[in-house]
Structure 1
Amino acid sequence: MSVFTPLARPQLETFTAAYGLGRLLDFQGIAAGTENSNFFVSLEQGEFVLTLVERGPTQEMPFFVELLEVLHQAGLPVPYALPTSEGLALRELAGKPALLQPRLPGKHITAPNRQHCIQVGELLANIHLATRDNIIERKTDRGLDWMLEQGQQLLERLAEGPASLLRAALAEIDAHKAQILALPRANLHADLFRDNALFEGTHLTGVIDFYNACSGPMLYDLAITLNDWCSQADGQLDPVRAQALLGAYAKLRHFTTAESQLWPVMLRVACVRFWLSRLIAAESFAGLDVLIHDPGEFEMRLGMRQQVELNLPIAL
């Protein structure tokens, strides 16, 4: 189970009392997380999620609280931080930054269809539109410089085939870094995978886990999202799902010529980011009872993105 900081019932009862939401009825750890400790919490007045933030500097937590409040005020289905009776949204529990948020309805989709992808494309565009004119700045700690540095360190520990693939990808990132950073920007979710979206049928009811959120190129966020929602088991893109997601996004925000030109590069960059982070997690948590996603999934996807036939819809 990926709960890095266990909690005792008396701790949680004391913590939740400050919200005025009634007695603690039940709580349980959530096994799906890989970076933070999350708990389902049942109080007399409803169902909630408690997050203990395990990674990242504490001083950046106000960014997440502010971003989620902006998106909540924009009418998007996000888990904004609830304030206590005294108005405190960001608190501390067990020595970690802690947020109590409403538990959103719905469940994760493991086999998305075209309609799911339309909803995700619309949601991502709305996140970008809600923030691009008033960006809340936060530099990601897993950006292009991180990829170049960590990638070079990992090269010597990879077999020749994967090392060759990664070496070429790092050279491409280095060559296009300035162009990528000059693309149109907004606030990004930066981790909008299937396990971070909730659906009831084909209706998207929630988007969770904003703890990789940052400011940056909107196209990067789109590439991250499409690589997960529209990939087949062999790593190739499903054109039907991919065109549905891109079309839904483009109806709300038009792409620029520079974005169209860099789209294949950005799909590969997004693969590198998660291939590297999963390789590092696999090494760091080896032998521990922590959920580790397969690094090979993104190695395979990166291989399949060497030739990209999927274009951005410039005009609809």
Structure 2
Amino acid sequence: MAVFTPVSERDAQQLLNHYTLGELVSLRGITAGIENTNYFLTTTQGEYVLTLFEVLSHEQLPFYIELMHHLATHGVPVPEPQTLRDGTRLTTLHDKPCAIVSRLSGGYEPEPGTAHCALAGRTLAQAHLAGRSFSIAQPNLRGLPWWQETIPKVLPFLSTSQATLITEVLEEQTRFAQSDTYQALPYGPAHCDLFRDNVLFDGTFDMPRMGGIIDFYFAGCDTWLFDVAVSVNDWCIHRNTGVLQHDKLQAWLNAYAEVRPFTEAEKHAWPVLLQAAALRFWVSRLYDFYLPRPAQTLKPHDPRHFELILQERRNTPAPAL
């Protein structure tokens, strides 16, 4: 993620004194993204990622850290938060909450094929099922209440047609969230940000192997179908049009459903949740683009991408689950 808070090698070594992870070998900032400060951290015992949390509070963070720990202990390939000498997995650096997690092998695939989609879909379903026994509950902090709070802040920057679209969709989502269909949707811990750059693969393009799911810091309890919709809106589209690619979409959905079959309520809700997933990221990208926080390295995403996807989801009937 963006480097908001500088961390020196001396800072890193002093932090490592509170762990049993060996001595510092190297430290390198990660410049992509917009939410946290991340560094690749190499020690004499292995490779890790150091994260300083710029937005999330100490009170909010146990959900994310302990969810990753829970999933890792249940065999889901995710970064494992490292335990300090005092038995905790969360500490402080430069007055910011911070954690060290294991660095997974592999890299992300910018143009995933059907095999990548199937692996990602299957792994997400496994994470959903494993999360059923997780004891900490926290809502998706970028869910409907956040959309309702944030859209008025970005409306002054929008054209008349954009303002009409975003307001109409918000009203529809607000009504749908009160419906019996929505209330019947399976619900629990969800990643909520499973874009292609948050999944790592080993192997070759034709025969990929799952490396793992990363970046859980937008996770929260939400409908699992919303999590699926967020994912396919990134993994299974023509990037320049937002149109769904049916071979990739079916590979993703079929692999997911082999692990956790979709319910009748989910089949009815699917078109609406695809729009919800597009709205969520249009809103957040508008906010980051027009109302950014200062940072040393900051590359906000173009909001028009998810505006295009939202329009496409409204104009074209969704393929059935």
In the superposition, the TM-score normalised over structure 1's length comes to 0.94
Q: Which region of structure 1 is more displaced relative to structure 2, 154-163 or 69-78?
A: 154-163
Query: Which residue number corresponds to residue 247 of structure 1?
Result: 254
5 Å matches for 1:223-262?
223-233=229-239, 234-262=241-269
Query: Which residue number corresponds to residue 277 of structure 1?
Result: 284
Match of 1:221 among 227, 252, 266: 227
Q: State how many pairs are aligned.
A: 312
**Separation in structure 1 between the aligned mates of residue 294 and residue 42 of structure 2, nearest angstrom:** 32
Name the % identity.
Answer: 39
CA contact (8 A) 2:157 2:290 kept: no
Letter of the structure 1 residue corresponding to residue 277 of structure 2? A
**Separation in structure 2 between the aligned mates of residue 206 and residue 222 of structure 1, nearest angstrom:** 17
Letter of the structure 2 residue corresponding to residue 28 of structure 1? R
Match of 1:311 among 309, 312, 320: 320
5 Å matches for 1:192-203?
192-200=194-202, 201=204, 202-203=208-209
1:134, distance to aligned residue in structure 2 (A): 4.4
Letter of the structure 2 residue corresponding to residue 85 of structure 1? R
1:91, distance to aligned residue in structure 2 (A): 0.9
**Separation in structure 2 between the aligned mates of residue 308 and residue 91 of structure 1, nearest angstrom:** 48
User: 5+ unaligned residues in a row in structure 1: which ranges?
Assistant: none
5 Å matches for 1:1-316?
2-134=2-134, 136-179=136-179, 180-200=182-202, 201=204, 202-233=208-239, 234-285=241-292, 289-306=297-314, 307-312=316-321
Distance 1:142 1:177, change over 3 A: same
SS in 2 for 1:142: coil
SS in 2 for 1:58: coil
SS in 1 for 2:115: helix
Distance 1:69 1:286, change over 3 A: closer
**Separation in structure 2 between the aligned mates of residue 48 and residue 181 of structure 1, nearest angstrom:** 40
1:5, distance to aligned residue in structure 2 (A): 0.5
Letter of the structure 2 residue corresponding to residue 183 of structure 1? L
SS in 2 for 1:92: strand
**Separation in structure 2 between the aligned mates of residue 226 and residue 135 of structure 1, nearest angstrom:** 28
Letter of the structure 1 residue corresponding to residue 142 of structure 2? R
Letter of the structure 2 residue corresponding to residue 260 of structure 1? K
1:245, distance to aligned residue in structure 2 (A): 0.3
Deviations 1:28-67 (A, max 9, x none): 1001131000000111111111011111222111111211
**Separation in structure 1 between the aligned mates of residue 87 and residue 294 of structure 2, nearest angstrom:** 42
Q: Which region of structure 1 is more displaced relative to structure 2, 17-26 or 73-82?
A: 17-26
**Separation in structure 2 between the aligned mates of residue 92 and residue 215 of structure 1, nearest angstrom:** 25
1:182, distance to aligned residue in structure 2 (A): 4.0
Provide runs of 4+ in structure 1 moved above 6 Å: none
Q: Which region of structure 1 is more displaced relative to structure 2, 152-161 or 24-33?
A: 152-161
